[in-house]
Copies of this chain bind each other. A is one copy, B any other.
Amino acid sequence: MVLVRFFPKEFSFFDVFDEHVGLAVEASQLFRELVERSAVDEIALARMQSIEHSADETTHMLIDQLNKTFITPFDREDIYSLAKELDDIVDTLTTIVNRMRVYRLAGPNKNLIEFSLVIDESIRAVASAVKGLRHMKNRKAITKCCVEVNTLENVGDSMRDKVLAELFETESNPINVIKWKEIYENAENVLDICEDVANVVESIVVKQA
């Protein structure tokens, strides 16, 4: 009876995490699509906000379930961190899209397109790592994804340094410097958050060793 009671709850954590990373991948795809366009309009922003809203609800559901469950598939604080960081990924992508609209940034910007491709790779690796937690046997595959996320974070750091140096050297309008500095820094920040997720995943794997 106890098994019947607890096991479904344990397994549901994996289901909800799968849904959560699915939303992050969806947000990333939309982000890629939007940065390639000429401008962010109301409809585009609304689509992103709708994904963000679903991710928020998933996070709340996870934390609610966590508060009601005694036995969890891995440490409570790790479940909490995973939920929070995955939510942060979607939030930060939404923030970028929102600011593009608020600042009326026109046009595809080649630097941001490049960032969106690296972000997409990283979020896909994050998704594979998180999904891997369900079947702990393929540790190697999980670790490989986490290493990839770390590598992409370094790539993002270099990109940010390069594009900021370029921005400060070539852009004479300070208002544009303010706008793009913020966009680029937020883009790089998404990769930092992906790295945080990878660190939590690695932690979980180590503890189960």
- The one of B102, B103, B206 in contact with A67, judged by C-beta atoms closer than 8 angstroms, is B206
**Contact yes or no, A102 B206, CB < 8 A:** no
A193 CB to closest chain B CB, in angstroms?
15
- A181 within 8 Å of B by Cβ? yes
**Contact yes or no, A207 B161, CB < 8 A:** no
**Contact yes or no, A175 B177, CB < 8 A:** yes
Copies of this protein in the complex: 3
**Contact yes or no, B168 A63, CB < 8 A:** no
A43 CB to closest chain B CB, in angstroms?
16
Tell me the count of chain A residues lying within 8 A, CB to CB, of chain B. 23
Q: Which residues of the partner chain B approach A168 to less than 8 Å between Cβ atoms?
A: 102-104, 175, 179
- The one of B161, B169, B179 in contact with A98, judged by C-beta atoms closer than 8 angstroms, is B161
- The one of B161, B169, B174 in contact with A174, judged by C-beta atoms closer than 8 angstroms, is B174
- A68 within 8 Å of B by Cβ? yes
**Contact yes or no, A64 B161, CB < 8 A:** no
**Contact yes or no, A165 B206, CB < 8 A:** no
9 A-B pairs with the lowest CB-CB distances in the bound complex, closest first = A174-B174, A67-B206, A102-B165, A67-B207, A102-B161, A102-B164, A174-B175, A103-B168, A67-B203
Further pairs besides A102-B165, A174-B174: 11, Cβ < 8 Å = A63-B203, A64-B206, A67-B206, A67-B207, A68-B209, A103-B164, A103-B165, A103-B168, A104-B165, A168-B175, A174-B175
